[in-house]
Structure 1
Amino acid sequence: MDVEQKLRELPGWRREGDEIRRTITAPDFPTAIRIVDAIAVRAEELNHHPDIDIRWRELHLALTTHDQGGLTELDFALAARIDAIAAEYGA
Structure 2
Amino acid sequence: MWAVVENKLTRTFQFGSFVEAWGFMSKIALIAERMNHHPEWTNVYNQVEIKLSTHDAGDIVTKKDHELAQAIDQLLH
**Short-chain TM bin:** over 0.9
Aligned residue for 1:15? Answer: 4
The answer to whether residue 40 in structure 2 is matched with residue 51 in structure 1 is: yes
Aligned residue for 2:71? Answer: 81
Runs of 4+ in structure 1 off by over 4 angstroms are none
CA RMSD of aligned residues (A): 0.8
Deviation digits for residues 34-66 of structure 1 (CA, Å, limit 9, x no counterpart): 000000000001000001100100000000001
Aligned residue for 1:6? Answer: none
Structure 2: give runs of 5+ residues left out of the alignment. none
Aligned residue for 2:19? Answer: 30
The answer to whether residue 55 in structure 2 is matched with residue 66 in structure 1 is: yes
| Larger helix percent | 1
| Larger strand percent | 2
- Normalising by structure 2, we get a TM-score of 0.94
Instruction: Please tell me the residue identity of whatever aligns with 1:66.
Output: H
Percent identical pairs in the alignment equals 32
Larger Rg: 1
Q: Tell me how many residue pairs correspond in the alignment.
A: 76
